[in-house]
Every structure is written in structure tokens, then in C-alpha cells.
């Protein structure tokens, strides 16, 4: 284990996905597959109390284009002051982006807009720099858009375009793994990291502490963090256990 302890730490981002005012988890991103876990404010507060430095907060209603939870997200962010929040879901124009930053998000995760509106995305990346990450949600090497209901083009074409725009960070999700507890797609992550020098955050499929250990081994290749969702809510391990394996 001594060699492992010398590996730089992996940043863990417990996920709080909000739909219809509740904290939920989806399976493979499908609307209608929600399992509810109660109040998002309580969920975020719990992760903060247990040592999270970042929380990945998602407005699923905004992502699916069926309203938003802005007031509630604001409450969540206020509740966990001192913890960084990465906010995702439905941020597609200047107004929604500014609103997300106004309520205290440290980082914004662009999804569909980066695929459908590349010029706007490039401008925003240029303007806000580190505050913008782009979510690359992938099935095979095809990107998914609109809450994963539509194809969004070829991963490598889009990545090359984002690299040119100077994107600061990528959040890579294998859609087929998300919410399934079947383990992360390490090969996909390696391929992405071979094509960018920017930090990458892994998302989807983490089911065990072994998965976190495997992801931590990719840190020297450019993996910065991992979003953990269903495994935490399902009690596969605790956040303090996960943080320990991640090197905190």
C-alpha cells in the first residue's frame, strides 16, 4: 500500500440530483427511473458534514427542459457554505449561466449547450475560464444531449473543438454505466486523457471502494476527480471510507 499512498489524491464529488424538489438518482439517465432520497438540502449538508470538499449538484428538471429548481439549489448552496459546488443541468444561455454563478456555484458544468451551440460555448469558456467545465456524456464514442435523449455528435470531433476553445476541464460520463453500479469505464477515461492535457472528472458506474482505488491510479494521467452518486445513497460504502481511499 505504501506506493499507493504516494499517488496524488482523487477529488470526490458526491452528487445531489434534484427533480421535483427531491434528491433523486436515475438509472442510465432515464426520466422516470428516479429513486427518491428525500430533501436535497439535507443530502448536501450530510455530504458536507462527512468531509466533502466539492458537491456535484444537478437540476434534472432543467436538464430535461421541464422547469427548474433554482430556489432550492440556492438553498442547497447556502447550506453548504465553504464547500465548492459544481452545478449542472439546463445551463444553455447567458441568463441561466449568470443565474447559476449568482446563486453561488463555483463551477458550471455545460452539457447540451456545448454540443448544440459551440460558438456560445467557446465564448463562455473564453470569458469564464476555470469556472466552466464541459460534460461529455458518452455511449460508445457518440455523445448524448438533451438529458441523454438525443445524439450530440462524435466525441473526438467535439473534444478537438473544445480543446481549441481552451476548455479548462471535462466531466466524462459513460451513460450506459451511470446509476448501474457496474464500475467506471476506465478505457474511455484513458482515451480522453490521451487527447487532452486538461483535468478530467469521471462520472458514472462507481460501485465500490475498489473502483475508487482504480480511478485514483489514473490521477497521474490527468484524472482529477470522480462524481459518486448511487453507491453512496445505496450504502455500498460511506463517504469517509471513500475519501480515505481517494487519499484525503
Beta strands in the chain (DSSP E): 11-19, 22-25, 35-36, 54-59, 84-88, 107-110, 132-139, 142-145, 150-154, 170-174, 200-203, 223-228
Element (H, E) at 233: helix 230-233
Residue 17 is among the residues annotated as catalytic for this protein: yes
Residue 154 is among the residues annotated as catalytic for this protein: no
Within 13 Å of residue 73, how many CA atoms lie on the same side as its CB? 31
Catalytic residue among 68, 137, 174, 211: 137
C-alpha dihedral sign at 51, 9, 40, 76: positive
DSSP three-state, residue 22: strand
Catalytic residues: 17, 137
Amino acid at each position: 500500500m505504501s506506493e499507493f499512498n504516494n499517488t496524488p489524491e482523487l477529488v470526490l464529488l458526491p452528487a445531489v440530483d434534484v427533480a421535483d424538489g427531491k434528491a433523486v438518482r436515475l438509472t442510465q439517465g432515464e426520466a422516470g427511473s428516479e429513486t427518491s432520497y428525500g430533501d436535497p438540502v439535507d443530502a448536501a449538508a450530510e455530504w458536507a458534514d462527512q468531509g466533502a470538499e466539492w458537491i456535484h449538484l444537478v437540476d434534472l428538471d432543467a436538464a430535461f427542459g421541464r422547469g427548474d429548481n433554482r430556489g432550492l439549489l440556492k438553498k442547497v448552496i447556502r447550506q453548504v457554505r465553504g464547500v465548492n459546488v459544481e452545478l449542472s443541468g439546463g445551463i444553455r444561455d447567458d441568463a441561466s449561466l449568470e443565474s447559476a454563478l449568482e446563486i453561488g456555484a463555483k463551477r458550471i458544468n455545460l452539457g447540451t449547450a456545448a454540443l448544440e451551440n459551440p460558438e456560445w460555448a467557446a465564448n463562455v469558456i473564453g470569458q469564464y475560464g476555470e469556472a466552466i467545465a464541459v460534460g461529455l456524456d458518452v455511449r460508445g464514442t457518440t455523445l448524448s444531449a438533451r438529458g441523454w435523449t438525443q445524439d450530440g455528435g462524435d466525441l473526438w470531433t467535439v473534444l478537438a473543438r473544445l480543446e481549441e476553445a481552451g476548455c479548462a476541464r471535462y466531466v466524462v460520463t459513460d451513460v450506459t454505466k451511470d446509476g448501474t453500479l457496474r464500475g467506471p469505464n476506465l478505457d474511455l477515461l484513458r482515451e480522453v486523457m490521451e487527447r487532452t492535457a486538461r483535468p478530467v472528472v469521471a462520472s458514472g458506474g462507481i460501485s465500490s471502494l475498489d473502483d475508487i482505488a482504480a480511478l485514483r491510479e489514473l490521477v497521474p494521467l490527468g484524472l482529477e476527480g470522480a462524481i459518486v452518486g448511487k453507491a453512496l445513497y445505496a450504502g455500498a460504502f460511506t463517504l469517509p471510507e471513500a475519501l480515505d481511499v481517494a487519499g484525503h
